[in-house]
Structure 1
Amino acid sequence: MASKTRQERVAAAREKAMVAVQAIFERWNKVADHVGYEGFELHVMRMGKVIDASLGPPSSVYRRADYDTDAAAAAATPIVPGPAILATSTCSLYIDGRYSNMNGVMHGGGYGVIFDMMTTTALGPLARPGFWDYLGGVSRTLNISYLKPCPLNSTVIVHAHVYHVGRTMALIKGWMTSEDGQTVYATCDHHKVAMATPKHHLVHRVKWDDQWEETTEGKDAKTAKL
């Protein structure tokens, strides 16, 4: 059987990362449905959409000319600080009137809850059972720089890059842009502290669980329990 081309390997890795990010939304919603949760982040997690994800730097940090063919890809030059990126997610959300302030643009608190939830999803591709699984712990600090007002009735794109992840701490950098990418509304530094996921939350299975169990590490962990 012919080996996969680089493009095929990249596509497969992207799909796997997408499943890991989507799993955070899916499990959150299953838990919310089970307990009848109606918190203020409900809309973000119900309506947010996963656009892209990666384990390691996304393809966008490589010069496109070097990335198009297998031969050239071997010598691809990463755009600094690309190599430092451990995982990424890109999500979208439609901003309606519930996020408004009295000036008719998005309230500063709206940026906060969106960044809090959506940048956390970038930990998904790095997760494994007992390690930054589900919602990736709790926030230690969330520092937001507000750059431009975000108009209502528009779609924002939230990009998140993980630059550090350890047993207890993680750092994610995020930015929120217009749908066309021409306007940056805000940026953030999100520091997370790991916490064990309640076992009763993990009974709500998602596609990621099956994907994990098919990996070598997942099979070894399953065998060790037998």
Structure 2
Amino acid sequence: MTPFEKAQVWFQTASMEGYEGHDSILPQHLTLLSATHDPTPANPHNATTTFSMTVPRTLCNHGNSLHGGAVALIFDICTSVTISMCSKPGFWDSGHVSRTLNCTYLRPAKEGTKVLVESRVVHLGKRMGVLTGVIRGVEDGKVYYTCEHGKACLEGSSNL
């Protein structure tokens, strides 16, 4: 599968009839624009994704800005999807969970604002990973939100 096809798998799963998970609202708002896996000697897991979205009312707070919880949800999903670019049998292919999700809110993205959600794999080890994300305006290029996402791989057995 191409990196783009790997990223699309999440959309197919979250869009399945009968799926009512917390993240089921995102496929109707996020559009995958690009997905790359470009290994380098310095970063063999160099992968990125870019999604576009127009901030919908359903993800806004009373101030008509993207809700802080929605920002965290968007980053959680978009950065996690980016891991799939690097997965292969026996490596980050059987699930992962968040260890940390640190979001920084720089300015509000108002309802109707067109944004890009850019995610990058910083590091994937045998069991731990780090990703970063940025939500920026399409028209002005301003950064609205950033994140650092720590992940733990669920494959293998525990030594505890």
**By the TM > 0.5 criterion, same fold?**
yes
Is there any run of 5+ residues in structure 2 with no aligned partner, and where? 156-160
Is there any run of 5+ residues in structure 1 with no aligned partner, and where? 1-14, 58-82, 197-226
Q: 2:82 aligns with which of 106, 115, 122?
A: 122
Q: Which has the higher helix share?
A: 1
In structure 1, the partner of 2:59 is 99
In structure 1, the partner of 2:72 is 112
Q: State the AA in 1 paired with 2:8.
A: Q
SS at 2:84 equivalent = helix
Q: Shift of the alpha carbon at 1:45?
A: 3.1
Distance 1:45 1:168, change over 3 A: farther
Distance 1:47 1:129, change over 3 A: farther
Q: State the AA in 2 paired with 1:104.
A: N
SS at 1:41 equivalent = helix
Q: Which has the higher strand share?
A: 2
1:30-41 aligned at under 5 Å gives the runs: 30=16, 33=17, 36-41=18-23
In structure 1, the partner of 2:30 is 48
| Contact preservation (8 Å) 1:119, 1:158 | no
Say what the alpha-carbon RMSD is for the aligned residues. 2.2
Q: 1:180 aligns with which of 139, 148, 151?
A: 139
Q: Select the structure of larger CA radius of gyration.
A: 1
SS at 1:117 equivalent = helix
Q: Distance in 2 between matches of 1:131 and 1:27?
A: 21
Deviation string, structure 1 residues 10-32 (Cα, Å, up to 9, x no partner): xxxxx9221121222223434xx
Q: Shift of the alpha carbon at 1:131?
A: 2.6
In structure 2, the partner of 1:218 is none
SS at 1:119 equivalent = helix
Q: Distance in 1 between matches of 2:4 and 2:140?
A: 21
In structure 2, the partner of 1:141 is 100
Q: Shift of the alpha carbon at 1:141?
A: 0.4
Q: Shift of the alpha carbon at 1:154?
A: 2.4
Q: Distance in 1 between matches of 2:30 and 2:52?
A: 6
Q: Distance in 2 between matches of 1:186 and 1:141?
A: 16
Deviation string, structure 1 residues 122-164 (Cα, Å, up to 9, x no partner): 1121012343237x41111000111110110222211011011
